[in-house]
Amino acid sequence: MTRGYLTFVQNSGSVDYLTMAYVQALSIKATQKINSYSIVVDRTTEQLVTDQHRQVFDHIIPVPGEDDSLNDKWKLKNEWKALQASPYIETIKVEADMLFTSSVDHWWDILALQDVCFTTNVVDYTGEISSSRVYRQVFDANHLLNVYSGFYYFKKSPLAEELFNYARLIYANWPLFRDQILKSCTETEPNTDLVFAIAAKLCGDTKLHNPETQIPRFVHMKGAINGWGINQDWQTMVYHQFDKTTLTVGFTRQTLPFHYHQKNFISNDIINHYEQLLRN
């Protein structure tokens, strides 16, 4: 496969990432011409994959090697394995809690001009680029690239190998980076945005984003990004509705990938909506 989407799916506690990935795959199949979709799963989650899931997922890939997140509540430590897990020459790596509302097929040729390209700007639900730094204080204190790992591109290349090798080292040595290298960092466990921002700095971060086109980018529904409280659930603040592939939030039709963030957003009604879309 030349191009496709990849996400890690490791169910954790009450969070059903498998169902989120299933709906994400449906949204990609409904809106994209380039729509091959692969999931990377641990052994426990793989046992939950049904025939219905298999009709939508193009590849179901076991986590390469040991499961580095086996004993973690927040399962992020396998993310550095995206390059070796991906069956594609060119990959868009996405987080499972994101829906595709319109085609971004034209992004692929722009992204392919680089070996790696991170999202460094996100927008609120009205389409305005976020200037909030509430969640980015460690980034600012350490002059890190404003990485949002919810959506990024890489191709099989030496630069991608370098990036993911650095990510592996950062995950494995997090206390050292947190306590002795970074300023003002209190993150007990490494989060993916921060890990890849550090890795990008070690690689030479000017090579890893595209400030001229601002591609890729996505709608981020975290509270402060949208002008609400830091931990505010957006579903209590603004109305939303679906119409075929269209999602409207407030009075704004969503045209970018929509990172809904709140894990309880996916309901049976939304699942049925996307399943019906694909049948038609």
The DSSP bridge partners found for residue 169 are none
Task: Name the residue ranges covered by the structural domains of the chain.
Answer: 3-279
Residue with token string 């990432």: 17
Pick among 3.90.550, 3.30.310, 2.30.29, 1.10.357: CATH of 3-279: 3.90.550
pLDDT, tens digit, for every residue of 177-236?
Answer: 999 999 999 999 999 999 999 999 999 988 999 999 989 999 999 999 999 999 999 999
Helix ranges (H only) for 55-191 are 82-85, 107-111, 137-141, 158-172, 174-176
Per-residue pLDDT at 14: 85
Residue with token string 């034209």: 106
- The pLDDT confidence band at residue 280, using thresholds 50, 70 and 90, is confident
> 216 with 111: CB under 8 angstroms?
yes
Per-residue pLDDT at 244: 87
Secondary element (H or E) of residue 192 = helix 192-203
- Whether a cis peptide bond, with omega within 30° of 0, leads into 216 is yes
